[in-house]
A and B are shown apart, each in its own frame.
Chain A
Amino acid sequence: MSRAGAHRSGVPGARRPRADETAPGELVVEARDLALRFGGVTSLDGVSLRQRRGEILAVIGPNGAGKTSLFNCLTGAYRPQQGSVTFWPQADRPTELVGRRPHAITRLGVARTFQNIRLFPALSALENVQIGTEVRQRYGPVGAILGLPHARRAERDGVQRALSLLDLVGLSHRTHELAASLPYGEQRRLEIARALGTGPSLLLLDEPAAGTNPAEKRDLAALITRIAGTGASVLLIEHDMRLVMSVATSVVVLNFGRVIAHGTPGEVQRDPAVIEAYLGVTDDTGGDAGIAGIPAGPGAATRKDVR
């Protein structure tokens, strides 16, 4: 526990007050009572969640807990049967997200990556990011065909921003290579760059560290911190507890479609319900053994076993 705390203190602005205690004006997104069912299967069962602007919020939970379903509801890929999602692109402009199409939500400023990487495999790294940087461009087919000044300007601007984003995620040397030809870890980073290209105020990362090696995980943690430093809020699904504990300012734990705990990483680690969900035993003593079990990393492995 003390170790996690030490990590956290390294993150700029690790704040004490919990998300649900803050004034609404500081929020970037608030989901209320989301329910999502597929036939008889309930994927989300009354999930509520609030995230403050600039915060790195981690969503953890065993496989099938509804984490990705939650993401899909926030980004418009699924439409929840019940509940609402309010998003503040700016502090004074609350916007309802449920019922909007994914691309409209992206344009409002919610970008995401996918659990199983979904790049445009036959396009170059640059083109992948360009598609992101061009979301708010307005020029149409006539402008493109005639090469009108505003279209050219927009095009140049898109390339510039894409290049600087590739630089940010450390892929400058891959600019013209096909997305599919990049190594796995770089594909993950390219996907983040593409999402950042859309200029999000809320970035949703779905298991960004899955399948990456320890060095890449360290880079990723630094990258996530840097992204949050630029003013974007990050909502993170991650199984790697070490990463979660090192970057997250607060944590929400899902199990069976419900929020079973939320709080700072330290608080969540000690929560008996969380320990039970992860290890499948009730540990009333809340002893050190149970706590140590989570951050030490076998979290991911445990879940795979459960599945």
Chain B
Amino acid sequence: MSTPPAGQPGPGGQLGPGGAATVPLRTGGSPSGPADASGSGSVDASGPAGSSGPAGGPARPGWHPAVLFTPARLRQLGVLLLLGVLAAIVTGPTGNSDKPLQAAKDSIVDVRIVLYLGLAVALWVVLVLGAELRGALERVSAPVRAPIGAAYGRRGGPIVLNLVLLAIAIVAPLVVSTAAQQSMVNDIGIYALLALGLNVVVGYAGLLDLGYIAFFAIGAYTTAYFTSQTAMPWHAPFTLNPFFVFPIALILAALAGVILGAPTLRLRGDYLAIVTLGFGEIIHLLANNADNITNGARGAFGVPHLSIDLLGIDYKWGIDPLPYYYLLVVIIVGVMIAFGRLERSRIGRSWAAIREDEIAAEATGVATLRMKLLAFAIGASVSGFAGVLFASKQFFNPQSFSLQASFFVVAVVIFGGMGSRLGVLVGAVVLQGLAFYLRDKAPPADRYIYFGAVIVIMMIFRPQGLVPSRRRRREIQLAEEGIGAADSLGVAPTGGQQ
């Protein structure tokens, strides 16, 4: 598992930063991230011909096919083949409980598996050639790009990328079926918003919150309480437009977060996870069993859709998922921008400090408890906000707030890349996309098997997530080298030291 970074001096020198970037198995060429800033630039500048690599390895013309078969590359091939087998099983026949392994057998001893394995090999070849090509391109273009990059600042790339992604997000629902549109709102959109909120708690502050969905439930039930006389037996004496419930739910959820957090955030890692897990279960069971308050397991039915009648704008959201989708896109973009600013501010730095070394953070004057509480409250308020949208969009019952849902949000954050806003978005798209794909392929009870498998593979080969944040990637690298703890989820040293 541990590839000695220096174990491949020759090829390593040739692959350069490009190679490291596309080998998803590890963050390999460790300094590649920060080196973008100064290191690689100066190296490339000193040897523009690219013939004398930084490692001083064999000269460029002596390119050798052995480059393709480094341990990292072979491992990559292995993973792809495994994924191929997994894909074959997923798309294969549905099993029955009499012969539990029959379906797996049927799908493995089948012609289709050749197709999938072929696809896996083809994908590997594309990845490898792509990396090679990119490495070559990098060498050629580096002297040209360096001044351009310096002139435009290093944030130019992400802005273009973000605009492209936004354009895709806007166009995507127009080319898919209505069922898929529904899923894009109810599953992907809502969960992306939830994951963005949880990302503040887990990714930024490093606190494991397993009861996160409880705040979502609080938002949803608050909406039912204020906007409808019929949805629940317990309701407000007046009805409000769902838009007015947004701030109420936001504040209530944040308050719930503070009330839960204040006594428990002194706990570390595992203990906090268990407390939040319990809290999530309490809310779920309350919703399920308090028949004469929440309507129990039957759920709240008849929460009005969003509508706006203000300043001459009169619009009603309805059954059509598209308007909800675009509202969600606007909200998500807003939340992403807001959290980006937060991350780059004093507050984001304090969270990073807490995550990396709580004792040192405290000694440097960071009010750790307060900052953690703040993260908790911010995460909870986003969750409550999402709950309002969810409640006004569709019928809901306590099933929507089960433990599984909580775990799913955590999985989305971890899968996408803790601490990375774009990452958790991608995580929501991929995992919920997988759920949608599996909807008519696998029985509902089996779905989590596939999620589990995907996450296990992910954690083994790419623990930093699909689109890791730069800070997070560095932390995991350092943790692998034995410097510091990757996060405060693990055992943290207490007290002073002597």
Contact = CB atoms under 8 A, between A and B. Distances in A.
A104 B366 CA distance: 9
Given A103-B367, A145-B342, A121 B362 contact: no
15 contacts: A72-B496, A77-B362, A106-B364, A121-B474, A122-B478, A127-B349, A130-B349, A134-B350, A135-B366, A147-B341, A158-B346, A177-B34, A180-B483, A181-B34, A195-B364
A198 B361 CA distance: 12
A78 B497 CA distance: 10
Contacts of A135: 364-366
Interface string A135-153: 1110111001101000100
B43 interface: no
B497 A103 contact: no
B273 interface: no
Nearest to B494: A77
Contacts of A158: 346
B349 A103 contact: no
Contacts of B471: 122-123
Contacts of A139: 345-346
A131 B34 contact: no
A112 B363 contact: yes
A226 interface: no
Contacts of A257: none
Contact of B362 (A64, A78, A102, A137): A102
Nearest to A152: B345
Contacts of A72: 495-496
Contacts of B357: 118-121
Given A112-B363, A127-B349, A145 B338 contact: yes
Nearest to A127: B349
Contacts of B483: 121, 180
A120 B356 contact: yes
Interface of A: 64, 68-69, 71-72, 75, 77-78, 101-104, 106-107, 111-112, 114-116, 118-123, 127, 130-132, 134-137, 139-141, 144-145, 147, 151, 154-155, 158, 176-178, 180-181, 194-195, 197-198
A103 B374 contact: no
A127 B353 CA distance: 9
A77 B364 contact: no
A154 B345 CA distance: 10
Given A118-B357, A121-B483, A123-B353, A178 B347 contact: no
B356 A121 contact: yes
Interface string B163-197: 00000000000000000000000000000000000
B356 A131 contact: no
A257 to B, nearest CB: 12
Contacts of A118: 357, 359-360, 363
B97 interface: no
B281 interface: no
A78 B362 CA distance: 13
Interface residues of B, number: 40
A131 B497 contact: no
Q: Which 9 A-B pairs have the closest CB atoms?
A: A135-B365, A144-B345, A72-B496, A106-B365, A118-B360, A122-B474, A122-B475, A77-B496, A102-B362
Contacts of A71: 496
Nearest to A177: B34
B365 A69 contact: no
Given A123-B356, A131-B350, A178 B474 contact: yes
A75 B369 CA distance: 17
Contacts of A106: 362-365
A122 B474 CA distance: 6
A198 B365 contact: yes
A141 B378 contact: yes
B38 interface: yes
Given A132-B365, A144-B345, 13 more contacts: A64-B498, A68-B497, A114-B363, A115-B498, A118-B360, A119-B360, A120-B352, A120-B361, A123-B471, A135-B366, A141-B347, A176-B37, A181-B34
B93 interface: no
B368 interface: yes
Contacts of B356: 120-123
B433 interface: no
B484 interface: yes
Contacts of B378: 141
Interface string B463-476: 00000000100110
A90 B301 CA distance: 64
A144 B352 CA distance: 16
B364 A114 contact: no
A45 to B, nearest CB: 15
Nearest to A69: B498
A114 B360 contact: yes
Contacts of A144: 341-342, 345-348
A68 B498 contact: yes
Contact of A145 (B341, B360, B364, B475): B341
A176 to B, nearest CB: 6
A226 B100 CA distance: 76
B474 to A, nearest CB: 4
B349 A77 contact: no
Nearest to A116: B497
A205 B496 CA distance: 14
A212 B362 CA distance: 26
Contacts of A130: 346, 349
A81 to B, nearest CB: 14
Contacts of A197: 364
A169 to B, nearest CB: 15
A136 B366 CA distance: 9
Contacts of B342: 141, 144-145
A77 B363 contact: yes
A146 to B, nearest CB: 8
B375 to A, nearest CB: 10
Most B CB contacts (10 A, CB to CB) among A75, A118, A155 go to: A118
A144 B484 CA distance: 28
B202 to A, nearest CB: 16
A115 B352 CA distance: 22
B345 A77 contact: no
Interface in B362-399: 362-369, 374, 378
